[in-house]
Chain A
Amino acid sequence: RKEVEQDPGPFNVPEGATVAFNCTYSNSASQSFFWYRQDCRKEPKLLMSVYSSGNEDGRFTAQLNRASQYISLLIRDSKLSDSATYLCVVNPGTASKLTFGTGTRLQVTL
């Protein structure tokens, strides 16, 4: 079983749609959780950290369910510029090295 599992997609959605990505992780001792965004042939960039209480940043909402070892990202009112790969990322709690999922590709269309 992979340490971090994501649906690779692609998710093709029209502009303005709401889209949700899910992710599960296997290490129950994991300490911190993130969503990174990666554009084609570019480096990953931090989108947001994920907290148990849930957190929101504009059109983006992230949720963490430690009991189910499940992380989600909700994007509302999708923009063309949201087209990218979204990487679910877990810090397993040892030395801050990050464990990445394979990424979910989002394509927002007109």
Chain B
Amino acid sequence: DTGVSQDPRHKITKRGQNVTFRCDPISEHNRLYWYRQTLGQGPEFLTYFQNEAQLEKSRLLSDRFSAERPKGSFSTLEIQRTEQGDSAMYLCASSLVGSDSTDTQYFGPGTRLTVL
């Protein structure tokens, strides 16, 4: 499968614990995005990378959230001191930006986080 992959697919944790999610984009894609989706809502933008540089962060991304893309390939999203309000589906997307590309974003299957 050459699509976007995410790991784990499901995570249940207790309030106050730290969690880390991983996203592997489509191999030649230079942009990687993180979104969060709660029940009954559309995905909301959190942050994005172009190669290894984190270029924008949403106001939704509190200081408990941190994202990295150290080698410009896979990315990790860490949530520290989780709260029940962090329960959501965390979606990763990737795209190819260039002179002859359409910058279409392709989404991974998501990581569903439940904070007890």
Contact = CB atoms under 8 A, between A and B. Distances in A.
Nearest to B92: A43
A36 to B, nearest CB: 8
Q: Which size bracket describes the interface of B in this complex? A: 20 to 34
Interface string A30-43: 00000000000111
B9 to A, nearest CB: 10
B45 A43 contact: no
B44 A100 contact: yes
Contacts of A98: 33, 35, 43, 45, 105
A80 B43 CA distance: 25
Contact of B110 (A43, A45, A49, A89): A43
Interface in A17-64: 41-46, 49
Interface of B: 31, 33, 35, 40-45, 48, 55-56, 91, 95, 97, 102-110, 112
17 contacts: A4-B42, A42-B109, A43-B108, A44-B91, A44-B107, A49-B102, A94-B56, A96-B31, A96-B48, A96-B97, A96-B105, A97-B33, A97-B45, A98-B105, A100-B44, A102-B40, A103-B42
Given A94-B56, A96-B97, A102-B41, 5 more contacts: A41-B112, A43-B107, A44-B43, A46-B105, A103-B41
